[in-house]
Every structure is written in C-alpha cells, then in structure tokens.
Amino acid sequence: MRPSPRVMHNLAMNTVRSRDIPRTLRKMSTEDVAAWNASFREGTPSRALGELELQRRRDVGNRIRGWIAIAISTAALIVSIVALYLCVR
C-alpha cells in the first residue's frame, strides 16, 4: 500500500492528519500495525503512517481526560455563578 501524493506531501511538511491514515491501517489490530510497521525501513512514508497510527491509538486516553477536565471546569463555573446569583439576591 503506497500513500497518495497528497499524503506524501503532508508527511514532508509534517502536517499529516488522522484522515490521511489509510482506512485499512485503521482497521488493523495494534499488533498487526506494529508488524506492518516493522516491514518498512525507517524514514519511509509507509512506516511514518504506521507510526502515526500507533501514536493516535496511544493518545486516545489523553483526549478523553482533556474532555473530562473541560466538563468538570464548566460545571464548577456554572455552580459558582449560580452561588453568586443566589448570594446577591
């Protein structure tokens, strides 16, 4: 599987997005992606895409934690605004 010219350009410019990772690579298990990755030399576009997919899978926990932190902060802000409103009244 060879990356498209657009993906090759994005790899060269360090602007690859998750949508640039082929669907077949996304459907593979983590072990299959690691094996697929090992079949390419370092620095090749296909290997870079495999590494990006592995990194994307590792970052899922951070993304979820970030959204939880935003939700808790928003709830705290709402509670403090309501408390201020009730105290002033």
Rg (CA), the chain: 21
Question: How far apart are the C-alpha atoms of 7 and 15, rounded to whole Å?
Answer: 9
Question: How far apart are the C-alpha atoms of 45 and 43, rounded to whole Å?
Answer: 7
Contact of 33 with 53, CB cutoff 8 Å: yes
Alpha carbon 87 to its chain centroid, in Å, reads: 43
For 28-54, the DSSP string reads S-HHHHHHHHHTS-TT-HHHHHHHHHH
Give the model's pLDDT for residue 87.
Answer: 87
Both structure tokens of 53: 């997919």
The domain tally of the chain equals: 1
pLDDT (tens, 9 = 90+) of the chain, 89 residues, equals 566 666 666 665 555 566 667 777 878 888 888 888 888 888 787 788 888 888 888 887 888 899 999 999 999 999 999 999 998 87
Q: What is the pTM of this model?
A: 0.55
Q: In which domain, by residue range, is 72 found?
A: 5-88
